Amino acid sequence: QVQLMESGGGVVQAGGSLRLSCAASRFAFGTYGMHWVRQGPGKGLEWVAFIRYAGGKKQSAESVKGRFTISRDNSKNTLYLQMNSLRPEDTAVYYCARDLDGYFDLWGRGTLVTVSS
């Protein structure tokens, strides 16, 4: 069925790097904008980054600007999030989500990132 599946989460020390992937199945991935959204422990949902369908336009939250980079490979139906200079406050479940007219209509199950100090 139509789905998104994240991978790449894990435990990393503060200052380290991690690359998340999100594999899309059974829909025209290359025609949709895509997002990363996260939820820290005991916290609400926080938008992280967006990339347009062709990858030309990217936007990111102020909290991750300069540290996180969103990218995509439409030939592999895969979305990425390169996370550098990680901080303990980046600890969260990271979801990839599909954009449809400004809202998130399809979500992955999430991958947990833990940044230890």
Binding positions for other proteins, rule: CB under 8 A: 35, 44-47, 50, 59, 61-62, 95, 100-105, 107-110
Of the two residues 53 and 104, which places its CB atom closer to other proteins in the complex? 104
Of the two residues 1 and 117, which places its CB atom closer to other proteins in the complex? 1
CB of 110 to other proteins, least distance (A): 7
* CB-based contact 80:22 (threshold 8 Å): yes
Please report, for the chain, how many H helices and E strands are present, in that order.
Answer: 0, 11
CB of 107 to other proteins, least distance (A): 5
Q: Which residue type occupies 18?
A: L
Nearby residues of 61 by Cβ (< 8 Å), 6 or more positions away: 46, 47, 48, 49
Of the two residues 44 and 56, which places its CB atom closer to other proteins in the complex? 44
Q: Which residue type occupies 38?
A: R
CB of 88 to other proteins, least distance (A): 19
